[in-house]
Amino acid sequence: MAANKKARTDPPYELLYWPGIPGRGEFIRLAFEAAGVSYKDTANESEDGVKAVISLIDSSSTGTDGNPPPFAPPALRIPGEGPDGKPLLIYQTPSILSYLGPKLGLAGTNEAEQQWILSHTLTALDLSNEAHETHHPIAVAKTYEEQKEESLKKATDVREARIPKFLGFFERVLKGNEEKGKGKYLVGDKLSYADTTLWHVLSGLLFAFPKEIEARKGGFELLFGTFYESVKEASGVKEYLASGRRKPFSMGMFRYYPELDRQ
């Protein structure tokens, strides 16, 4: 009991990511939530927690505690696991997930499954990057309004060519694994971080392009009929969604601009 209490109040994992939005941090949060493992979400847990995120990407830093500087959030800090017993700091969503996966029991049951899970996760993240580019096709540092004309073109291509290609691919992955996964899991017969990652991307697409996805989802029965609903009900994920702790989509990677959706 004491150990449990300590695990909850003094979690070993610290997520460093921007507050207030799901963003790329959400892929990490979902892994922790699905595994039922506590974590500190620094920037969301205190007023000045965001300072830790900002200092992380100080453009003059050559790293801290023997760790290299991270390029961008999210980063994960793990006390005691770094050089000379200092904290370990790693960054890049797929790298963090590949580190956590085996530790959280979300990386399959053998080396082959572990690699497929990473491969599918990278593919789902590529899709989320393309969704981001629909409102920022020219310059990340400029506003949507400054690149609206190009956004309309980019969004058309992403909706008409890219989204169907990705969705069709994941439908085939589910189909190929149907005997083991029953349409609920991309790889093997249990939940992995590829499932939680793809699920979040699908939920982002439903937010950003509701008309487009509504028109297309019938063509992807396993994906929207079985998989999407099943991950929502998975142990840990269900409790998280009910908790109100999940931040709503707003002005992050996935944004709702009606003019970028199907007309």
**Binding-site ranges for its own copies (CB under 8 A):** 59-63, 67-71, 81-83, 88, 90-92, 94-95, 98-99, 111-112, 115-116, 118-120, 122-123, 126, 129, 133, 137-142, 150, 153-154, 157, 161-162, 166, 168-169, 172-173, 175-177, 186-187
Task: Please identify, using beta-carbon distances, which residue of 38 and 114 lies nearer to its own copies.
Answer: 114
Q: How far is the CB of 1 from its own copies (least distance, A)?
A: 31
Q: How far is the CB of 86 from its own copies (least distance, A)?
A: 10
**Residue 14, beta-bridge partner list:** 40, 77
Contact 107, 117 (CB under 8 A): yes
Task: Please identify, using beta-carbon distances, which residue of 48 and 179 lies nearer to its own copies.
Answer: 179
Task: Please identify, using beta-carbon distances, which residue of 201 and 236 lies nearer to its own copies.
Answer: 201
Rounded to whole angstroms, the Cα distance separating 79 from 11 reads: 10
Q: How far is the CB of 21 from its own copies (least distance, A)?
A: 20
Q: How far is the CB of 2 from its own copies (least distance, A)?
A: 29
DSSP 147: G
Q: How far is the CB of 129 from its own copies (least distance, A)?
A: 8
Per the listing, tokens 């922790």 go with 32
Residue 100, H or E segment: helix 93-104
DSSP string, 224-241: IIIIHHHHHHSTTHHHHH
Please choose, from the candidates 209, 205, 238, 171, the residue with its C-alpha nearest in 3D space to the C-alpha of residue 33. 238
Task: Please identify, using beta-carbon distances, which residue of 87 and 247 lies nearer to its own copies.
Answer: 87
207, exposed or middle or buried, with CB in 10 Å at 0-12, 13-18, 19+? middle
Task: Please identify, using beta-carbon distances, which residue of 118 and 260 lies nearer to its own copies.
Answer: 118
